[in-house]
Structure 1
């Protein structure tokens, strides 16, 4: 058998093996809504930062990982900061969230009182410890000028205020979790 045939056969076998191992499923329409997406993320990350985290291969490693900073199994960010960030930004529609990378991106949000402007936020949870420098929030603003959305500056104080709210909520969640034990 030639080397080309052997390589092609090996490639086909690997592709078939990977296809058999895939965990594909159809996504229902109800999973696309913002609230449902947020709830799915909270379920994946344990929902309650003081409760069990992610279950990996049927093994709940939450007690081991809580001692290492409150994260669930496999989480690389602090669960209290993660949940607090989701809670703090919950008034904005959620575009995406990566609990392993610690990135939360919201979709554009138009406050009811300001119809000519909209806001979007990106939050980064950067540590496994509950620290004041463990979260960074960046808010983006656009204003409507003659039917077109144009980028506009935001105050640095806005970013700081959101970060302070996240930290306060994270401390509250940690206190609640400590009271349950």
Structure 2
């Protein structure tokens, strides 16, 4: 054997190894097949590790916090809803008068984060004559966040 044939032999050995690895797989046992089907469906068996794994946050609704989202809809139920997009976290309302109030308001709510925190909520409030005062918008944000915390506390009891 000469050294000139060595690269050809190495190349042929590599091609044969690749072709052999493309062969059929060994048949799966019944248990392995069931486990593979469960993984394909998104189901998985539980294990001891599941007890210590971090819990899912069920407060999320897509990219927004479900408690802030629902609290916004509950607190502003006196306003007619014109647009709702849970994927971007925007709720837009038309003009409406709060119970016991004389001035009509319009609101745009932006839920920007899945966390139940003040930074996750932005409220833009307007009257027919222009923007509402910052203190009114802040009071509305506080009311929404308070209601969101109440909803979360109610859910955590069960």
- Give the structure-1-normalised TM-score: 0.53
Cα distance change on mapping 1:70 and 1:153 into 2, 3 Å: closer
Note the alpha carbon deviations across 1:23-48, whole angstroms, 9 max, x for none: xxxxxxxxxxxxxxxxxxxxxxxxxx
Residue 119 of structure 1: how far off its partner (Å): 1.4
Cα distance change on mapping 1:113 and 1:165 into 2, 3 Å: closer
Distance in 1, Cα, partners of 2:87 & 2:93: 17
Distance in 2, Cα, partners of 1:174 & 1:113: 29
| Runs of 5+ unmatched residues, structure 2 | 1-41, 43-54
Does the Cα contact within 8 Å between 2:78 and 2:97 map onto a contact in 1?
Answer: no
1:134 to 120, 128, 134: 120
Residue 108 of structure 1: how far off its partner (Å): 1.1
Correspondence for 2:151: 173
Runs of 4+ aligned residues of structure 1 deviating over 3 Å after TM superposition are 110-113
Task: Tell whether 2:147 aligns with 1:161.
Answer: no
Q: How many residues align?
A: 106
Correspondence for 2:110: 124
Rg comparison, structure with higher value: 2
Correspondence for 1:70: 59
Q: 2:88 aligns to what SS in structure 1?
A: coil
| Runs of 5+ unmatched residues, structure 1 | 1-58, 60-65, 143-150
Residue 68 of structure 1: how far off its partner (Å): 3.6
Alpha carbon RMSD of aligned pairs, Å? 2.4
Residue 154 of structure 1: how far off its partner (Å): 1.7
Equivalences for 1:1-80 in 2 at 5 Å?
A: 67-68=56-57, 70-72=59-61, 75-80=62-67
Correspondence for 1:102: 89
